[in-house]
Amino acid sequence: MAEVKYSEEHEWIRVEGDTGTIGITQYAQEQLGDVVFVDVPASGRKVAKGEAIAVVESVKAASDIYAPVSGEVVESNAALADTPGDVNSEPMGKGWFFRIKMSDKGELASLMDEAAYEAFVKSLG
């Protein structure tokens, strides 16, 4: 089963081999409200951990999405251009943002597992 990790910026990453699929969490989509636009990165873009790489815009606010790990973008979810609501209805499914070929899997260690992330969200009140 694929491993899923979480960042403090409320991104998730599902790890399969060297590739990670990235999106935002249920908590993040609830906080944002209805998503109306998602700007995903182009394939081939190289990105460093923590760099702003995508933009998600809701009726309330526009927010940057940060790369939870370093690597190269290999695929992005083009369907979000037409159906940004997928981020609300299936944040961890059809609402994924992009896939990244990780350059340093060691970086995953700095991210949270599901239990730790749930505790983190709880601590936010």
Cβ-in-10-Å burial (0-12, 13-18, 19+) of 88 comes to: middle
Q: Which of 2, 48, 61, 119 binds another protein (CB under 8 A)?
A: 61
- Which residue has 């940060």 as its token pair? 66
78 forms part of the interface with another protein (CB under 8 A): no
Kindly calculate the radius of gyration of the chain based on its CA atoms and give it in whole angstroms.
13
Q: Which segment (11-19, 34-42, 68-76, 112-120) binds another protein by CB under 8 A?
A: 34-42
60 forms part of the interface with another protein (CB under 8 A): yes
Q: Which segment (20-28, 42-50, 54-62, 115-123) binds another protein by CB under 8 A?
A: 54-62
Q: How many CA atoms lie within 13 A of 80 on its CB side?
A: 28
105 forms part of the interface with another protein (CB under 8 A): no
